[in-house]
Amino acid sequence: MENNTYNRTEARQQEENNLSLKDIWALCVNNWKWFAVSLAICLLAATYYVLTTVPVYTRSASVLIKEDRRSGSVSSDISSAFSDLGFGQTRVNVNNEIINFLSPDLMQQVVRNLHLDVDYKVKGLRYKHTVYGSSLPVQVEFLDLGRNESAGLKLELEDSTSCILSDFIRHGDKIKGKKVTAAYGDTTDTPLGKILVTQSQYADKAKWDRPILVSRSSLLGTARRYRSRLSATLSDKNTTVINLGFKDVNTQRAEDVLRMVINVYNENWIKD
C-alpha cells in the first residue's frame, strides 16, 4: 500500500515537472520576437566594437645577460661560488637587470631618440590610424615648447615644397589663429611658437590626401605611457635570458621601440 502511494506521488511530481517545462517552452515560443531582437542587438554591439577598436600588436625580443667578470674581485668569486651552490645569486642579478629595462630614465631616453613625443594620425572610416616610419611623409618639431608641454595641430600637404598648418591646440585648449603656410626645412612662426617641418626620407613613397593630425605630448607623460606597454620577464629561473615584449598599434614602431630599448640598455651598461 505504501509503495503504491509513493509511486503515485512520484508520478505526480514528474508530471508537474513536465508541465513546467512545457510552460517554459510555450513562453519562449510566444515571445520569440524579443529573443530575436535581443540577439540582433548583441550582434550589432559586438560588430561595432570590433570595427571601431584599434588593433594592438605585440612584438617580442630575448636578451641574454652575461655575467660581468672584469673586476675579478674576491666578492665576485664568492658570489660565483654561492651561485654554483644553487643560492640563486645569478637570478638576483638578472632581476636587477629587469628593473633597469623598465626604468623611467631608460624609456625617457628611448622617447627622445625616436622622437616619440610627437604623434601623427589620420582619420579613417572606423578610427584614427597612426602614421609612423615609412608611411610618414613629414616630421614636425615644436622648437619653443618645453619638454613637459603639450600641443597639437592639423597639417595638410600642399605640394613638394610646403604644407599648411591650422587648428592649433595648446594644453588641450584651442588657439585662435589663421592658417599658416610652412616651407619644408625652414622655421615658421605659429601661435605655438616656432615650428620646423621637414620632409622625411619616405616623402616620395608616402602619399596622403587627408590631413595629418599632429599631437605633441610631454616627455614624462609619453615615457610613462610607453613604459606601461613594455614588459620584461625572466625566461626561466635557471637562465639569464630576459624576454621583452611591447604592445603598440603600429608594428614598425613596436619593433623600433624594442630595438632602441636594447640599444640604450647596452649604452648604459658600457658607461657603468
Q: How far is CA 175 from the centre of its chain?
A: 29
- Which of these, 58, 68, 59, lies nearest to 240 by C-alpha position? 68
Q: Is 245 exposed, middle or buried (0-12, 13-18, 19+ CB in 10 A)?
A: middle
pLDDT at 29: 76
Number of neighbours of residue 37 by Cβ within 10 angstroms: 10
SS3 call for 120: strand
Judge contact between 244 and 62, C-beta under 8 A: yes
CB 130 within 8 A of CB 250: yes
Residue 253 burial by Cβ neighbours in a 10 Å radius (0-12, 13-18, 19+): buried
From CA 228, how far away is CA 28, in angstroms rounded? 48
SS3 131: coil
Q: Are the CB atoms for 106 and 224 separated by under 8 Å?
A: no
Alpha-carbon distances of 148 from 13, 108, 166, 213, rounded to whole Å: 75, 12, 22, 20
Cα atoms in the 13 Å half-sphere on the side-chain side of 29: 6
Position 85 scores a pLDDT of 46
In 23-33, which positions are buried (b, 16+ CB within 10 angstroms) versus exposed (e)?
A: eeeeeeeeeee
Tens of pLDDT, residues 56-108: 999 999 998 876 544 443 333 434 444 444 444 455 578 889 999 999 999 99
Q: In the chain, which stretches have pLDDT less than 50?
A: 1-2, 6, 69-89
Check residue 11 and give its pLDDT. Answer: 53
Residue 8 has a pLDDT of 56
Residue 264 has which C-alpha cell? 640604450
State whether residue 217 is helix, strand or coil.
coil
- Position 204 scores a pLDDT of 65
